[in-house]
Amino acid sequence: MPTPARVRIAPSPTGDPHVGTAYTGLFNWMLARQTGGQFILRIEDTDRQRSTNESEEAILRSLRWLGLEYDEGPDVEGPYGPYRQSERSELYRTHVRTLIENGSAYPCFCTAERLSEMRALQRKEKRDPGYDGQCRSIPADEAQQRMDANEPYVIRLKVDKQGATVFQDHLRGEIRIENRTIDDQVLMKSDGFPTYHLANVVDDHLMKITHVLRAEEWITSTPKHVLLYQAFGWDLPVFCHLPLLRNSDKSKISKRKNPTSLDHYREKGYLPEAMLNFLALMGFSPAEGEGEEVFTQDELRQVFSLDRISLGGPVFDLTKLDWLNGNWIRRLDRDDLTKRIQAAIPEGPATETGFIHSVLPLVQERMKTILDYADLTDFFLAPSIHLTNESFRRAKLPSADLVRALERAHAILSEVPDLDPDRDSGRLREGAVDLGLKVGGFFMALRVAVTGKSATPPLIESMQVIGRDQSLARIQSAIDFLQSESEL
Ligand code: GLU
């Protein structure tokens, strides 16, 4: 049995719940569940301007929707809380004091104007950007006096510019960064709130995180974190940076090119099972060479391994998501799918349980999302079918033949009390042949007359749901429509 991993996701509640949160969440969840460890949700809301309660709620809601259950978090409690950074200010203050006392951090009183002049000069002289260290040399007692006198200040990490910082990334091996390129990072802002770096490291340590599994974009922050761990004298966790999700042009996934909000996918009728399955396949091959792509959350938990994460930039391919979603919809049993349709689509005759049950055999196979149900079934209950000349184009028959086809179909179907797909498709086919019309065109004309569409579930089965009389009435209306159009 592997050592239980304590892992976390640490989203900032500053916008819509992001697919990236679900992606890192899933990988962390899989590792925790597989090793019998814990999966923790920590809300990193130190950016007071941008953090909102709504965004935090949306994150919680999305994780619940996906079934990524966490063991500790803002609404679950646990031994290492609070799990919201805005409630941990005192802890960061104590820790930053330790760093000042042991010479690893210092107060910086530079004003915004001075910093922008410094940057302008660096740009002009083509020097590396970064703080120039002016406040490093302020004697401790003078610095204390200025702080006591309420002069605004930030606390910076004192980076020894000699040598290099080295750490292991579980997937990439050794990463080495020259210290002269590491900035004297701000650890605490003038409002007394910590920056991401300080809060993240303090919390990962205090929460006993064993593995930091996060997106690749944080890799440049890691050297700063390593310096902080060293300054505190703490052991490092395992770092593992997951490959970034990408748009199809390989750029980092962005709203402009792909919807990135989990709410979007929920509202559009994607199943959480499919979403998780899809995200798992990004950068991870659950079953090497076996071609199997559909996995339940439980199966994923079993096959997951950190060593099977591949670093090639995984493309967020919506066609693949649609395919998986369709697959997952087909796996649902009737009652489960009925409930999900009823939860997603506004109540009406089309969402009555009996009706859903009567049409599911015809449409379940064709649904890629839950919302497709509405489009695939709207013609069943429509009071009338809206027709245009264009509607009949796919039948590729002249108007007079369309009328002949429909009149024959009407006659054939009027002779029977009930519709029977096997018997009636044969009889309709004979009717087409008898008229000397192409069978495909004949059936297309009938399909359009009865449904208004050129692509539908099986036609006679659909007419059974619509009812024989109603179907005949629609055929008659189509004949009337075609005749009135040809008289114009
Ligand atoms: N707050 C960071 C985020 O928004 C956390 C990054 C990390 O996992 O360290 O993703």
Structural domains present in the chain: 89-242 (3.40.50.620), 333-374 (no CATH), 389-486 (1.10.10.350)
Q: What are phi and psi of 176, to 5 degrees?
A: -130, 125
| Number of continuous H segments (helices) and E segments (strands) in the chain | 19, 9
Q: Tokens 């974009």 belong to which residue? A: 217
Half-sphere exposure of 346 (CA within 13 A, CB side): 1
Bridge-based pairing state of the strands 186-188 and 173-178: unpaired
Q: What is the pLDDT of residue 398?
A: 94
- Residue of 161, 208, 255, 339 marked catalytic: 255
Q: What is the mean pLDDT of residues 39-44?
A: 98
Q: What is the mean pLDDT of residues 210-218?
A: 96
pLDDT at 258 over 70: yes
Q: What is the pLDDT of residue 39?
A: 98
Strand order in the sheet with 154-157: 105-108, 154-157, 186-188
How many angstroms separate the alpha carbon of residue 12 from the centre of ligand 1? 7
How many angstroms separate the alpha carbon of residue 413 from the centre of ligand 1? 65
Q: Are 457 and 363 in contact (CB under 8 A)?
A: yes
How many angstroms separate the alpha carbon of residue 285 from the centre of ligand 1? 25
Q: How far is CA 270 from CA 56, 110, 399, in A?
A: 22, 51, 41
Q: How far is CA 316 from CA 133, 262, 333, in A?
A: 43, 13, 28
pLDDT at 86 over 70: yes
> Pick the residue with more confidence: 3 or 287?
3
Q: Tokens 């994607």 belong to which residue? A: 270
How many angstroms separate the alpha carbon of residue 197 from the centre of ligand 1? 9
How many angstroms separate the alpha carbon of residue 226 from the centre of ligand 1? 15
Nearest atom in ligand 1 to 24's CA: 8
Nearest atom in ligand 1 to 14's CA: 4
Nearest atom in ligand 1 to 10's CA: 5
Q: Which amino acid is at 12?
A: S
| % pLDDT > 90, the chain | 87
pLDDT at 1 over 80: no
pLDDT at 68 over 70: yes
CA distance 470 to 419: 12
Other beta carbons within 10 Å of 21 = 24
CA distance 52 to 280: 29
Q: How far is CA 244 from CA 171, 175, 221, 237, 279, in A?
A: 13, 18, 15, 21, 11
Q: What is the mean pLDDT of residues 455-479?
A: 96
Q: What is the pLDDT of residue 486?
A: 79
Is residue 287 very low, low, confident or very high in pLDDT (cuts 50, 70, 90)? Answer: low
Structure tokens at 130: 């970064």
Q: Tokens 């910082």 belong to which residue? A: 165
pLDDT digit string, tens, across residues 102-147: 999 999 999 999 999 999 999 999 988 899 999 999 999 999 999 9
pLDDT at 290 over 70: no
Q: What is the pTM of this model?
A: 0.91
DSSP 370: T
Mean predicted lDDT score pLDDT of the chain: 94
Lowest mean pLDDT segment, chosen from 91-100, 260-269, 309-318, 452-461: 309-318
Of 12, 169, 219, 260, best ligand 1 pocket probe by most atoms within 8 Å of the beta carbon: 12
Is residue 256 very low, low, confident or very high in pLDDT (cuts 50, 70, 90)? Answer: confident
Residues with CB under 6 A from ligand 1: 10-12, 44, 196, 200, 214, 218
Could you write out the DSSP letters of every residue in 294-307? ---HHHHHHH--GG
pLDDT at 471 over 80: yes
Q: What is the mean pLDDT of residues 438-464?
A: 96
Is residue 283 very low, low, confident or very high in pLDDT (cuts 50, 70, 90)? Answer: confident
pLDDT at 18 over 80: yes
pLDDT digit string, tens, across residues 299-341: 999 888 888 898 888 888 999 999 999 999 999 999 999 999 9
Protein residue whose Cα sits closest to atom 10 of ligand 1: 11
255 is catalytic: yes
Q: What are phi and psi of 433, to 5 degrees?
A: -60, -45
Q: How far is CA 21 from CA 15, 68, 85, 339, in A?
A: 12, 11, 17, 27
Q: Are 286 and 249 in contact (CB under 8 A)?
A: no
pLDDT digit string, tens, across residues 155-203: 999 999 999 999 999 999 999 999 999 999 999 999 999 999 999 999 9
Q: Which helix (H) or strand (E) holds 481?
A: helix 468-487
Protein residue whose Cα sits closest to atom 5 of ligand 1: 10
pLDDT digit string, tens, across residues 398-407: 999 999 999 9
Q: What is the pLDDT of residue 289?
A: 61
pLDDT at 291 over 80: no
Protein residue whose Cα sits closest to atom 6 of ligand 1: 10
From 201, 253, 294, 241, select the one nearest 27 (Cα to Cα). Answer: 241
Q: What are phi and psi of 3, to 5 degrees?
A: -65, 135
Q: What is the mean pLDDT of residues 464-474?
A: 96
CA distance 46 to 385: 57
CA distance 45 to 426: 67
CA distance 188 to 97: 11
Nearest atom in ligand 1 to 204's CA: 9
Is residue 288 very low, low, confident or very high in pLDDT (cuts 50, 70, 90)? Answer: low
Is residue 254 very low, low, confident or very high in pLDDT (cuts 50, 70, 90)? Answer: confident
Q: What is the pLDDT of residue 44?
A: 97
pLDDT digit string, tens, across residues 232-245: 999 999 999 999 88
| % pLDDT > 70, the chain | 99
Name residues whose C-beta falls within 8 Å of residue 370's C-beta, 6 or more positions apart in sequence.
269, 270, 271, 329, 340, 341, 344, 345
Is residue 346 very low, low, confident or very high in pLDDT (cuts 50, 70, 90)? Answer: very high
Bridge-based pairing state of the strands 105-108 and 186-188: unpaired
